[in-house]
Amino acid sequence: MKRAFTLFLLLFLSWAPASLAVVLDPEQVIRPELLTQALNALQDEGGEAGETGRVVIVDYSRHSREERLYVVNLETGTVTAYRAAHGLGSDPDHDGYLDSFSSVPESQASPQGAFRIAEAYHGKHGRSVRLDGLDDTNQTARSRAIVIHAASYAEPDHLARYGKLGRSNGCIVFSEADLATFLEDVPEGTFLFIGK
């Protein structure tokens, strides 16, 4: 069923990507142009990562206090939104906005583009998930240890105290509770797109 839906999705994308954005996100939680970019990137990858029934989109044009990571259910069209921290090197003035992307090692910046969610593991931040970069803009993601994890600077009490999330070394960082929910819903192999 998921494979058939993915094939339908890719055929539909080939002639009406803007219309599909409304079908997939009827509440228009995600900026339509970013959703279209992400779906086009999924199509460029052959749509295989869409077979998990989910697509993850990160909109780093939004402030870190806002929900800006979206899980799109490709079967129902619904969207679940989360807060997520970005990299220190992408926000040197720490105003809560990502200024720039980078894939340069030791930049502590967030990379952009298309990724595949890889295997889960337990590291210094507890349960975490590796990311494999699929573009020239993020080929170094695995070697840089750009992963998904939880940290205290993404917790609600940090946000309440400072009005923004803290910054990572380029990783996508959730609160503990949000990470647990995200990992229950999003399987290994899912396509992830980071843009601004």
Do 35 and 24 contact (CB within 8 A), yes or no? yes
From CA 17, how far away is CA 184, in angstroms rounded?
29
From CA 53, how far away is CA 2, in angstroms rounded?
6
Do 58 and 195 contact (CB within 8 A), yes or no? yes
pLDDT number for residue 5: 44
pLDDT number for residue 193: 98
Edge to edge, the sheet with strand 126-133 lists 79-82, 69-73, 54-59, 191-195, 113-123, 126-133, 147-150, 172-174
98-114: average pLDDT: 97
What is the torsion angle, in degrees rounded to the nearest 10, for the CA atoms of residue 83, residue 167, residue 120 and residue 105?
140
Please, which residues bridge with residue 192 across strands?
56, 115
DSSP 84: -
Do 42 and 50 contact (CB within 8 A), yes or no? yes
Report in angstroms the alpha-carbon separations of 64 from 103, 111, 168: 20, 16, 12
pLDDT, tens digit, 9 for 90 and up, residues 72-105: 999 999 999 999 999 999 999 999 999 999 999 9
Q: Give the range among 11-25, 124-138, 143-157 with minimum mean pLDDT.
A: 11-25
pLDDT, tens digit, 9 for 90 and up, residues 29-43: 999 999 999 999 999
From CA 50, how far away is CA 192, in angstroms rounded?
10
Quote the strand ranges of the chain, DSSP E.
54-59, 69-73, 79-82, 113-123, 126-133, 147-150, 172-174, 191-195
CATH label of the domain that carries residue 182: 2.40.440.10
Domains: count for the chain: 1
4-9: average pLDDT: 44
Q: Which residues are catalytic?
A: 149, 171
Q: Give the range among 5-9, 118-122, 139-143 with minimum mean pLDDT.
A: 5-9
- The average confidence (pLDDT) of the chain is 90
pLDDT, tens digit, 9 for 90 and up, residues 38-66: 999 999 887 665 689 999 999 999 999 99
- Domain housing 71: 2-195
